Amino acid sequence: MRAFRVTGPHTATLEDVPTPEPLAGEVRLRVGAAGACHSDLHILDDPNALGMPMPFTLGHEIAGWVDATGPGVTGFSVGDAVAVYGIIGCGTCASCLAGRDNECRRVPPSGVGLGRDGGMAEFVSVPARQLVPIGSLDVTQAAPLTDAGLTPYHAITITSRNLVPGSTCVVIGVGGLGHMAIQILRATTATRIVALDTRHEALALARDLGAEHAFLSDADAAGRIRDLVGPAPGGAEVVLDFVGSTPTLEIARSVVMAGGDVGIVGLAGGTLPVSFGMLPMEARVSIPFWGTKAELAEVLALGQSGRITAHVETFRLADAAGAYDRLRRGDLRGRAVIIP
Ligand SMILES: [Zn+2]
Ligand SMILES: [Zn+2]
């Protein structure tokens, strides 16, 4: 079969590899769709830094159909439509036992398409416990919901204490994750949404999806938000930063209210100084990572209800490299989804 594989720093190519045989406890999927994520670019830039053994097949946002089951697998039949919960924790630490593989205490973040073969291939084998049924949801929708949907859903869940009616949530970055965050906030809260981005078309999308205000993320952005939320120590109840650069974190720091929440989701590598005086009293900063399997089932249910829709642009597997080039240039209209 063909697979789009990381073979070294800055090197990913389409290769012919053997079709995987499902091991004990595993299920082989015929891949229906696999999303291209910004974090894949970080892997491509420096797979060694992340400690991921190469080569491996990219793709950690996967949906498809059960093709074969390995020894000991029950509860799945050939043809079942499923999505893959991508994080593989140790399965035995207190976090994993509580269903929070995303904060496993024993193994660093890794999973399907993250050091082990992922979904940018015609087939992929994954442990059966990673699968979540998707019912009638289209695989092209289900795949991006497993990360581009799940990650903002989790960030919203852990800041939900502050997302009460009358609150303001600032969403920085209206890309693959941010455009889902706006929809999830609309579907699950009554918060007022203020979106920031550097691109006018992203601001138009944010307004279409339900942001009450959408501003350019420039030197005046914090002032515009302050005009809406009033002076410190008041401010925005929640700021979700899907960029994570030093300038966007500075905006987050300067508009969040006392007792508010800043969630840093984006991987741009910026720095937020944390000390008395740098943030309002009682403010909390979190580094949400992906989400739990239970949350994935909830996100898929939102997708199935039609209340959230991933904006996607589809590519053939042969065009995967081009999809990542477009992702790097920032000129995709929605999530790039590979259809093997
Ligand atoms: Zn991702
Ligand atoms: Zn664990």
Ligand nearest to the CA of 109: 2
Do the beta carbons of residue 160 and residue 229 sit within 8 Å? no
Give the E-state strand segments of the chain in sequence order: 2-8, 11-16, 26-36, 56-57, 61-69, 81-84, 111-112, 115-116, 123-127, 131-133, 168-172, 192-197, 213-216, 236-241, 256-264, 284-286, 312-316, 335-339
Ligand nearest to the CA of 101: 2
Burial class (CB in 10 A: 0-12, 13-18, 19+), 15: middle
Cα-to-centroid distance, 338 and ligand 1 (Å): 14
Check pLDDT > 90 for residue 146.
yes
Cα-to-centroid distance, 331 and ligand 1 (Å): 18
Cα-to-centroid distance, 103 and ligand 2 (Å): 7
Check pLDDT > 80 for residue 42.
yes
Considering the segment(s) 2-133+310-339 as one domain, its CATH architecture is Alpha-Beta Complex (3.90)
Helical H runs in 159-292? 178-188, 200-209, 221-229, 246-255
Query: H or E element: which one contains 326?
Result: helix 320-329
Do the beta carbons of residue 257 and residue 228 sit within 8 Å? no
Cα-to-centroid distance, 229 and ligand 1 (Å): 32
Among candidate residues 320, 291, 237, the one with its CA nearest the CA of residue 103: 291
SS3 30: strand
pLDDT band at 48 (very low <50, low <70, confident <90, very high): confident
Ligand nearest to the CA of 106: 2
Question: What class is the 151-286 domain?
Answer: alpha beta
Cα-to-centroid distance, 289 and ligand 1 (Å): 10
Structure tokens belonging to residue 254: 């300067």
Cα-to-centroid distance, 98 and ligand 2 (Å): 9
Cα-to-centroid distance, 60 and ligand 1 (Å): 6
Neighbours of ion ligand 1 (CB under 5 A): 37, 39, 147
Mean pLDDT of 228-249: 98
Check pLDDT > 80 for residue 49.
no
Mean pLDDT of 3-7: 95
SS3 304: helix
CA–CA dist 210, 299 (Å, integer) = 18
Do the beta carbons of residue 252 and residue 172 sit within 8 Å? yes
Ligand nearest to the CA of 103: 2
Q: Residue 101 phi/psi, 5° resolution? A: -60, -25
Do the beta carbons of residue 198 and residue 217 sit within 8 Å? yes
Cα-to-centroid distance, 176 and ligand 2 (Å): 28
Q: What is the CA radius of gyration of the chain?
A: 20
Cα-to-centroid distance, 130 and ligand 1 (Å): 16
Check pLDDT > 90 for residue 110.
no
Instruction: For the beta carbon of residue 200, count every other beta carbon within 10 angstroms.
Output: 10
The reported pLDDT for the residue numbered 96 is 94
Cα-to-centroid distance, 114 and ligand 2 (Å): 16
The reported pLDDT for the residue numbered 252 is 98
Q: Are strands 56-57 and 115-116 parallel, antiparallel or unpaired?
A: unpaired
Domain residue spans of the chain: 2-133+310-339, 151-286
Cα-to-centroid distance, 49 and ligand 2 (Å): 22
The reported pLDDT for the residue numbered 244 is 97
Check pLDDT > 90 for residue 46.
no
Taking the alpha carbons of 27, 28, 33, 36 in that order, is the dihedral positive or negative?
A: positive
Ligand nearest to the CA of 37: 1
Cα-to-centroid distance, 38 and ligand 2 (Å): 25
Ligand nearest to the CA of 104: 2
The reported pLDDT for the residue numbered 108 is 86
Check pLDDT > 90 for residue 330.
no
First to last CA, the chain: 10
* In the chain, % of residues over pLDDT 70: 100
Cα-to-centroid distance, 233 and ligand 1 (Å): 34
Cα-to-centroid distance, 41 and ligand 1 (Å): 10
Question: Which is more confidently placed, 333 or 325?
Answer: 325
Neighbours of ion ligand 2 (CB under 5 A): 89-90, 93, 96, 104, 106
Cα-to-centroid distance, 147 and ligand 2 (Å): 19
CA–CA dist 89, 329 (Å, integer) = 32
